[in-house]
Amino acid sequence: MMLLKNLKEKIENKAARIGIIGLGYVGLPILVSFAKKGFSVLGFDIDQYKIDQIRAGNSYIKHIPSENLKHELIEVTSDLSRLSEVDAIIICVPTPLNTHREPDLNYVIETTYAIARCLKIGQLIVLESTTYPGTTEEVMLPILTRTGLAVGEEFALAYSPEREDPANEKFSLVNVPKVVGGTTPLCLELAQTLYDQIIVKTVPVSSTKTAEASKILENIYRAVNIALVNELKILFHKMDIDIWEVIEAAKTKPFGFHAFYPGPGWGGHCIPIDPFYLSWKAREYDLSLQFIELAGEVNTLMPNYVVNRLASALNNQCKPIKNSRILLLGVAYKRNVDDQRESPSLKIIQLLQQQGALVEYHDPYAPTCNNHRHYPEIDLQSLPLTKENLQKFDAVIIATDHDHVDYQLVADNSSLIIDTRNVLASQGLKGESIVCA
């Protein structure tokens, strides 16, 4: 107990060394933030490419400047046996779904075993990976206590969900309140103390389960509302109503309404995955979470809707999808980022290729599109966006509304445009060749 209390003082004095496992979109910003505040940090990742890039001072994430990695307090390694060198460990590993759309906790479990092999008295472990309520205490805690050390007395265990929104210019890691839950009151106190060093505000909750549930709720809220506007988009198209105009009108109400926008589907590592962690867990309690399942069905089928709209538009020009040349604008899952994880563009490319289309893409943030777990057949490189290139295609699909795209050039030189983001209309670009999807 005394060593844990000493840890609080070490953190407050910036004498504690912080370890971050997983140096992706969540872990790398944390690594940088602690170093900027004067903490010695040791980053861990099994991907040697990331280790080599950080050591060379090169950022592999678009919105994190390389200069931020050139810090004397930053050290990185792929050697997990060095976990014994740090005082606090923050886990930021993936939590994907398996082929049956069930939680795949292998990364969390393997990481916990690696920590257990090096666990020393006085360490704090915090999980940030999004997961179902109960993971921290039902999955991680038994592995850690098998070492013979007691939680809340000899080591501390907590959960604090990540709230990263890549490329958000208004909110970043340090100015978004951080929810924190501990397995014991002392665990909570230590986790709060840790994050208080870099975050504008910590939000303590009564348990790790509550903290885990809060993140799941945040993502389910978004998933359900995205599905709602996507479904209404289909209906309003049939009714000859502009869904975008409807949303703009509705959001003038100063209370009781929050605007969500339709698109070609859902993407990223959170929204398409995290809600299913809770629906899987609910089966343990003989419950079926129908809102989650229905939202998943609607959002998952949106790429099919886009392709169907393309097929209809090509048909009006007496062209089939087969052998048509299609240019996709954007393979990243959202505007102004390079992250392609779970991007609906990947499904659109797959569907088009399966129907015999000749597909290429342009994305100013993603020079290559390959090595995707669920789409191993996709291996493409970004095509320069020029007048000559645009005129070679039978249709252009705007799948991601990046700012750094010359949409006037696209509008002037494309024979058919399928706009899934309403970006052309928002810039005052109209024409008979533009189809909303």
Q: For residues 214-219, give the mean pLDDT.
A: 96
182, β-bridge pairs: 158
pLDDT at residue 1 is higher than 70: no
Residues 19 and 140 reside in one and the same domain = yes
Residues 89 and 187 reside in one and the same domain = yes
Higher pLDDT, 3 or 114: 114
- CA-to-CA separations, 305 to 235, 300, 311, in angstroms, rounded: 12, 10, 10
Kindly report, residue by residue over 56-110, the tens digit of the pLDDT: 999 999 889 999 999 999 999 999 999 999 999 999 999 998 877 889 999 999 9
Domains in the chain: how many in total? Answer: 3
Give pLDDT, residue 374.
Answer: 87
- Residue 92 makes CB contacts below 8 A (sequence gap 6+) with 20, 21, 22, 23, 24, 26, 27, 30, 128, 129, 162
Residues 192 and 92 reside in one and the same domain = yes
Residues 313 and 365 reside in one and the same domain = yes
Residue at 161 is within a domain:
yes
Residues 247 and 330 reside in one and the same domain = no
Residue 344's domain spans which residues? 301-436
DSSP string, 347-394: HHHHHHHHTT-EEEEE-TT-SEE--BTTBTT--EEBPP--HHHHTT-S
Residues 283 and 317 reside in one and the same domain = no
Q: Which of 298, 333, 358 is the last residue of a domain?
A: 298
Residues 321 and 254 reside in one and the same domain = no
- CA-to-CA separations, 184 to 118, 191, 206, in angstroms, rounded: 22, 11, 9
Residues 254 and 151 reside in one and the same domain = no
Kindly report, residue by residue over 139-188, the tens digit of the pLDDT: 999 999 999 999 999 999 999 999 988 878 788 889 999 999 999 999 99
Give pLDDT, residue 165.
Answer: 84
Residues 196 and 67 reside in one and the same domain = yes
The CATH number covering residue 422 comes to 3.40.50.720
Show which residues are catalytic.
270
Q: What is the pTM of this model?
A: 0.92
Residues 264 and 280 reside in one and the same domain = yes
Q: Which of 205, 233, 256 is the last residue of a domain?
A: 205
Residues 291 and 314 reside in one and the same domain = no
Q: Which of 176, 205, 234 is the last residue of a domain?
A: 205
